Structure 1
Amino acid sequence: MSTKLVLPILFALLFVSCEVDPFEETSGKTLDVGSLSKMKAPHTCKDEEHWVEAADGTIYWDENATSQDTTKPGETYLGEAVILFNGSVNEKPGTENNLFGEDAKLAKAKVYGPSGTNDIKNYDGFTMGSDNKKFGAIADGRYQFNYDDRGKSGKLQSHWAVENRGNIPALNGYNPNPNASTNREFKNGIFIHTSNKNGFAGTYNNGKNGISEGCLLIVPSIYDTEGISINNGWDQFNQQLQGVKEGTLQVIRK
């Protein structure tokens, strides 16, 4: 293959996220996202204070922990922020593949933010993808998340990458995604992002693509007619994590 062909292909693969992240809009659906996902303002976390996990599994704010070396014996250093997804393999969107739809079964996401013990918020989330039988999902486990300066491509923007876009074990050890370009035991290009602004999280392009093909979702933010937020959603998630460079992500399904 000539150099003229190789370079464009490599360049295209480099910018793929969530395995395939097409730019097409769904028919009748608007792929919209708040600009808050681009914000990276300083936070108030002190350099000498981070989250740790005690021997009994309790997560707490340690005034002296900045690394595993400065964490108490028998405890685990988690970092300046922690995201916990507690879900189920039976998660599903509600009516019309909407996260806000009737009979939706969602995960719960708890975020331990960079400002300490008073910076803990709960969100509704989703871990099983738009069609997990077709696209698969990431396995339960503990991972690192990081602020990715370049950010996820496509209209559903995000800067919160998992394992630096690298390989993550697939649920049940197999990635069925026909769009995948990696070893079938893994998924890659995974981000935390949101659904369509109206909550739609299903497939499109005649089922060839999904809003999530393995990425983790936080529900969109909802506002009343006066512009006041009535839930913790994607905008609040980004506000809470402003300035965070990296932290710990854990996915648990029961």
Structure 2
Amino acid sequence: MDSEREPVRVVIVDDEQLVRMALRLVIDGEPDLSVVAEAADGDAAISVVDEHRPDVVLMDVRMPGRDGLSATRELLSRPSPPRVLILTTFDSDDLVLGALRTGALGFVLKDTQPPQLLEAVRSVADGNPVLSPAATARVIAAATGPRSSHARDSSRDAARKQLAALTERELDTARAIADGLGNPEIARRLGIGVATVKAHTGSLFAKLAVENRVQIALLVRDAEV
């Protein structure tokens, strides 16, 4: 990140004080990041965001009172909203998926190592989605449980229609993303360079009108291809 830029302003939202303290220590230790406020629930999050106008909100999803999904939806419906990065322990996968569909830019596990957490905050601040391949696979698995045959057929037909616009190589890339692979692993599987994987992924975003790898993977799983 450019050293001449103002520090990225971060709000931490979590009902556990120890979690907030730990995150603040990690984030405030970086010269290009600054925690400007904390909140213990969704209502407080909206208030502190209104007051401090942060660049990034680290948002827990399951809290007493107003949960993180509701707060995220409210924040992202407003003009010039902050970027939202979801915090999860994966006991609330449905809420995480709901937040991603609402417009959150990604999610990280609460036990993510500090260097990866800091990189996630910086990436989200720059408008880039943050979706760990391993975490992506786990969320998709939680989202593809048993459904009625009608709902399954309808989702499959819609997904296959979207995927029909892809080249064979783009479809191979989409399948690899659905398997939770990162770019280097996809490159090895397909026998191509990482730059080519990135190009294929960019084409997937454009052709499928999606914003992140989770949405690509869900389409592949729905299509059963």
TM-score by length of 2: 0.25
More helix by share: 2
Which gives a bigger RCO, structure 1 or 2 (Cα 8 Å, sep 6+)? 1
More strand by share: 1
